[in-house]
Structure 1
């Protein structure tokens, strides 16, 4: 298709290196008075070179009713493209991921490569990423967190890009992990032509079954009749050692990694004892682990969420499941509590509700309204594939909070919907990484964290050259 004359003239004005024409400091501050539909710009300022980033124009804006957005526009070397980042947990803290040195859910990877970038708080302010109080009787905020903030962030960012550079961006990439991974899948489902490349990490794509049902079940399984925790942090090292001893070689190599936890079933009877204390596990403690491995089931024996907590995830249980010996952690309980109190049901039960109140028989069916807003696990992404989109999905096999079995199940169902895995692989690449915690947050025995991963480079090559990715390990 022939390029319009205005675009041809714009391209002719670029430098010999192929960089797009740039704007100055006055152009940046002028964005602060830009009028946008159904929203407004708060401020725009130039952020100087800090040794990590070249100078960029930082814009803060709001898409009504309450989606706070940050856009970062390179002052020089813009590559003509757009990069959008998701957010983690219940979100609510604008630009949180960019306050740390990592790349997950951060604008950093895009900005470093010359992309104009943006992210949002998903439509509300929270005191932490486990704070769900914002959703209390607030369907608009739930809708925005569920899906609308993705589209609105893109809309506002594109308006700023065009106002600043005088040209709309070309290809766009979305990157997110956990809730950000859910957002990545939501983008592929609801907005199949918005992003030409998507990176989805450890996607919490079915929030109602995961955070509502499964996490409540995990907490119930570890609570005794007296209300006390059964499996405590000091016993986890015993479980970890037994699992590694029995599973490390299941893949044919003893390398301190469990390549696929489905290939190993652990027998903990050798650690059993009749009384609490000591280097052994009581029947109740073993019962907790057995329930965690199985995952939630109802009285009829129906599996309510795929699989359970995988073997090899034990090094990460303190932060997510059991709490730490010195206090802190046990974030699964915090997520399940906030979700059940304010996000899961049509009528919010409020602050008195706990995961112990979740009814595995009746409550899964009561979350249908929330599922329609939040969930993004439809395996039919034909519209995204037909638009030519490329998607990298990655997940750590040792993730104890967002069960990796769900990601595998989605991929297999997506392959069937596409007419076979060979067809699906033209647009979707799945990487299951042994020994990696949720979103690569904590370093385990493998030593691998998110810092050792780089899905961006292979995605760019796939989009530009058609070269399917073979690895996401950083070089």
Structure 2
């Protein structure tokens, strides 16, 4: 066997993979010399700032390359590329998050809160690249720089993808056999932007809880804050206490009523509503003479609830689901502040995205009315066209064999599954493919929040599913998911519009006891 020192010193590209395998198999600690050549991967349009071996304890021996793609801004588009020595021939683009602004470790982790124990793409042998979206910092100041804004909106991912592909090709001596994109939230938006505007870049794309209609959701979040402020009690200084517009008891009351109405439609009353077609009318919670207030909603709260779930007219509204009792749902829409300015995610990050990023103006000192928020929608339209991934004609992506796997939590308080389903239906209708070849799948997870969390099913493996679809032609009809609240229990997530239904016979904690049914099918 070739000595490890010889492997480290070797410059021959053809021997790199064999050396890497030998090093991994031998179990010896690698040295920075083994990745020295990664520091020579600078190319036209990008620079390398550092390159070396990952610290011990990281998954599998690999090189870490950090640098930036030149974009016309002072900092450029920062990136991190991790190159495993035992490479499987695949490249994964790992999206950013929030408003970007930092380079996350390029581990290719499964972007689900409950899937943290699953090996990421790097541990599976993928080369993985991440980026900062074209700016540094966690605020909205970047939006004042037109190039930084365009990089965030759509331009950064294609530039980093091309650089990463070229660097991987030079490092390994061959181009990646398959390229994938995986991300959740804003990362999911970036994934859908790639399918829409860079259709030849990726063979398979995973878009989780995608903020594809980012401008619409920012408008909705700001509108909801205004709606809740109008109904909320005031503190001693006159601030609306949005956290008290709906109490925890109110949310439990609604969730329980949803479960009573819709949970049994999937054959098993377990608190998870799989039948997304079930229609819930909150009127069943209206207070009537003689009905105790603890079991009903007074007319003002019922009116607020209806308006909140119906959503603003430009946005698609929200489904009634049992996961609305989760702490993350309250944190996003209502917050916890009992005095002073509201601290809900909608009132803070939502307002930041709407006013500072899309309208390019300071956040008003006082919460506007719902009518004032909607009146400004037209001024956001130019930037909405740049940042949104709402196109429904993805013919180029589908025609070249691209596969798009989308997943969404039904209790996501940030991006609405109702809005996503409407887009999915239009895209399936509008996109033309040869012989109706399947190119997109949507999986809805009941009671799951934003990129996981909540009492729902948030532990599954979309990377494995997209890989099987792209490379073996196995279009996923169901994905097996786990629920952290019930260790050992599994359920299938069925490709929309089908949903998981219990067969009435097998063990209730086994996914094999569930089939995939169409809404309206007889039980």
8 Å contact kept, 2:93–2:181: yes
CA distance, structure 2, for counterparts of residue 463 and residue 197 of structure 1 = 6
Check 1:462–1:101 CA distance in 2 against 1; reply closer, same or farther (3 A cut): closer
- The one of 397, 407, 418 aligned to 1:394: 407
Deviations 1:270-292 (A, max 9, x none): 46389x99665333222221112
CA contact (8 A) 1:47 1:56 kept: yes
- Report 1:111-260 matches (<5 A): 111-127=122-138, 131-135=139-143, 137-212=144-219, 214-224=220-230, 227-229=240-242, 230-233=245-248, 235-260=250-275
Structure 2 Cα separation of the partners of residues 97 and 339 of structure 1: 26
Task: Choose 1 or 2 for highest CA Rg.
Answer: 2
More displaced 10-residue stretch of structure 1: 322-331 or 165-174: 322-331
Please say if 1:92 is aligned against 2:101. Answer: yes
- The answer as to whether partners of 2:92 and 2:108 remain within 8 angstroms in 1 is no
Deviates more, 1:405-414 or 1:157-166: 157-166
Match in the other structure for 1:282: 298
How far apart, in 2, do the equivalents of 1:216 and 1:366 lie? 15
The 5 Å alignment of 1:7-26 reads 25-26=32-33
CA distance in 1, matches of 2:468, 2:14: 23
Partner of 2:331: 319
Cα shift at 1:362: 2.8
Equivalent position SS for 1:472: strand
**Cα pair distance change 1:122/1:357, threshold 3 Å:** farther
Kindly indicate whether the alpha-carbon contact (under 8 Å) linking 2:323 and 2:446 is maintained by their aligned counterparts in 1: no
- What secondary structure, in the 3-state scheme, does the structure 1 residue paired with 2:480 have? coil
State the distance in 1 between where 2:382 and 2:367 align: 19
Equivalent residue number for residue 45 of structure 2: 38
Q: State how 1:334-353 maps to structure 2 within 5 Å.
A: 334-345=348-359, 348-352=360-364
CA contact (8 A) 2:80 2:105 kept: no
CA distance in 1, matches of 2:367, 2:212: 20
Cα displacement string for residues 184-213 of structure 1 (whole angstroms, at most 9, x for unaligned residues):
11000111010011001111111111112x
**What does residue 109 of structure 1 align with?**
120
- Per-residue CA deviations over 1:352-378 (Å, capped at 9, x if unaligned) read 366626635432211121112101111
What's the offset of the Cα at 1:422? Answer: 8.2
Is the contact made by 1:390 and 1:462 (CA closer than 8 Å) also made in structure 2?
yes
Alpha-carbon displacement from aligned partner over 1:210-234 (angstroms, at most 9, x marks no partner): 112x112221221126634222445
- Find the residue that maps to 1:281 and give its secondary structure: coil
Paired position in structure 2 for 1:4: none
Equivalent-residue separation in structure 2 for 1:53 and 1:170 (angstroms): 22
Could you tell me how far 1:311 is from its partner in structure 2?
2.8
Q: CA RMSD in A?
A: 3.6
Distance in 1 of aligned mates of 2:185 and 2:435 = 26
Other-structure match for 1:429: 441
Change (3 A) 1:120 1:71: same
1:363-374 matches, within 5 Å, as: 363-374=376-387
Correspondent of 1:54 among 60, 71, 74: 60
For 1:16 and 1:58, locate their aligned partners in 2 and report how far apart those are by CA, in whole Å.
Answer: 17
Cα separation, partners in 2 of 1:321 and 1:273, compared to 1, 3 Å: farther
Aligned partners of 1:43, 1:357: CA distance in 2, in Å?
Answer: 50
Q: Does the 8 A contact of 1:309 with 1:400 survive in 2?
A: no
Q: Secondary structure at the match of 2:444?
A: strand
Q: CA deviation at 1:99?
A: 11
Please state whether the residue corresponding to 2:210 is helix, strand or coil: coil
- Work out the CA distance in 2 between the residues paired with 1:426 and 1:119: 29
Shift of 1:457: 1.2
**Whole-Å Cα distance in 2 between the matches of residues 116 and 85 of structure 1?**
10
Alpha-carbon distance between aligned partners in 1 of 2:14 and 2:470, rounded to the nearest angstrom: 21
Residue 102 of structure 1 deviates from its aligned partner by: 5.6
Change (3 A) 1:97 1:77: closer
Post-superposition offset of 1:83: 0.5
Question: Once the two structures are superposed, what CA deviation does each residue of 1:60-93 show, in whole Å capped at 9, x if it has no partner?
Answer: 111123311111111x210122111112221222
Unaligned runs of 5+ in 2: 1-11, 235-239, 482-489, 491-523
Are the aligned partners of 2:408 and 2:417 in contact in 1 as well (CA < 8 Å)?
yes
Q: Which of 424, 441, 444 is equivalent to 1:411?
A: 424
1:42 and 1:437, CA in 2 relative to 1: closer, same or farther beyond 3 A? same
